[in-house]
Amino acid sequence: MGILGAIMVPHPPLIIPDVGKGEEYKIQRTIDAYQEAARRIAALLPETIVLISPHQVMYADYFHISPGKGAEGNFGQFGAGSVKVETSYDEEFVEKLCRLASVRGLPAGTAGEKKKQLDHGTMVPLYFVNQFLRQYRLVRIGLSGLSFVKHYELGQCIKEASEQLGRRTVLIGSGDLSHRLKEDGPYGYREEGPAYDSGIMRVMEQASFEELLEFGEDFCEKAGECGHRSFTIMAGALDCTDVRAESLSYEGPFGVGYGVCTYEVQGSDATRNFKDQYEEKKRARIMEQRAQEDAYVQLARNAVEAYVRSRKVLEVPKDLPKEMYTDQAGAFVSIKENGALRGCIGTIQATQTCIAEEIIGNAISASSRDYRFSPIEEEELEQLTISVDILGEREPVASADDLDVLRYGVIVTKGDKRGLLLPNLEGVDTVEEQIAIAKRKAGIGISEKAALERFEVVRHF
């Protein structure tokens, strides 16, 4: 049969009466919507429920799928240990899903389980579903630090597994929305919080899933959301599928957004191939951007491509601007893919005979030697955006008052420890944040005193 439907739901433990102890009435609309969503799932008579939880074990570059015959858990950490949830896993589905992910080149599997017990992002949805349905098996999936596109692709694998097995399947995308809606909320208030909730509810109630891939990861981080990747996997499982979408509720009285939406499959729709559409738009944007790249960025790109494709160090071309042969300076090369950082390596001061050689060396290092990332593969080259920062002269400053997060980069030094952060970076809004990040990079304690230097950059896109 394949995918029959899906629901997007939050997972506040407070919603469980033994945990809320009367406080749950403050989100009564969410409770009512949850019960209706659970009824709709039960009416579809699924054999398998695929549940995606942000509180399942999460790795930066790997999707964990729970192994074994089943698991159980309780709400003891929330003061209600007597409320228990247990479930049996669909081992055949898990095996099929892992195999399909491997064929696609997605890093997903059953290795790396840290705790067998069910997490609250799983238990809260099952608490409601189990009131209406008992005869089903579960596939429990965690998120990763990989791109939104990779999460969508995992959803496509779920769809394929369901169809190949002929399994009556529904999905649960478990996730709260922003945690930054109020000053007295769990993470305070940021303007990105309400903006995220407004945007995500519009997208989800209209099933405009292509827009999930357009959300900036930095924006999502500032909004303090926890469900975006869950919803994106769910959307991938509904790829090329016509759905009847309905928004049942939204509220956020505790400073955290709770949204409930349901999706009932109506049939196939080849025009809803959202990943393909997104990547085509992205390719067009990148081609347009490439046409506008200056000589600095073109040199960095050519260096990356030559090294990734053939492990060759690019020779300095003959047609560069004069200053790239005559001047010396430190340079940083930053590489992004799907809006997420993919590599960044630079030099504080010149180490080569000219800027052109500095860029070539740092471009190769950014693509292959940034310890935070695996080396860039050839199939990624078309997806990359690159920028080059040429550093100006460093000058010492007496205090943070002499810094400007938009204009100046900062260098912090204590003994032989030194850290640098470039200016005008996404997600770094204050001088205090800039200094703190530079200190972390250097291994200097946040409260430790360090010498400060500032510098300006010329940024090339």
What residues are paired with 262 via a beta bridge?
7, 246
Tokens of 296: 């600095």
**What is the mean pLDDT of the segment spanning 422-438?**
92
115 pLDDT more than 90: no
> What is the structure's pLDDT at 70?
97
156 pLDDT more than 90: yes
For tokens 């969508």, the residue is 152
Residue 242 pLDDT level (bands cut at 50, 70, 90): very high
pLDDT > 70: percent of the chain: 100
**What is the mean pLDDT of the segment spanning 140-154?**
95
> What is the structure's pLDDT at 243?
98
Rounded distance between C-alpha atoms, residue 149 and residue 109, angstroms: 18
Helix axes 192-205, 228-237, angle to 10 degrees: 20
Q: Is the dihedral of CA 269, 275, 277, 280 positive or negative?
A: negative
> What is the structure's pLDDT at 72?
97
38 pLDDT more than 90: yes
> What is the structure's pLDDT at 35?
97
Q: Give the single-character DSSP code of 244.
A: E
> What is the structure's pLDDT at 296?
98
H or E segment at 193?
helix 192-205
Taking only the tens place, the pLDDT of each residue in 379-404 is 899 889 999 999 999 999 999 999 99
| Cβ-proximal residues to 138 (8 Å cutoff; 6+ apart), any chain | 48, 49, 50, 51, 70, 87, 88, 89, 90, 126
The distance from CA 73 to its chain's CA centroid, rounded to whole angstroms, is 27
426 pLDDT more than 90: no
> What is the structure's pLDDT at 85?
97
Average pLDDT, the chain: 95
> What is the structure's pLDDT at 1?
78
Rounded distance between C-alpha atoms, residue 270 and residue 240, angstroms: 5
**What is the mean pLDDT of the segment spanning 191-197?**
96
| Cβ-proximal residues to 395 (8 Å cutoff; 6+ apart), any chain | 453, 454, 455
This prediction's pTM:
0.80
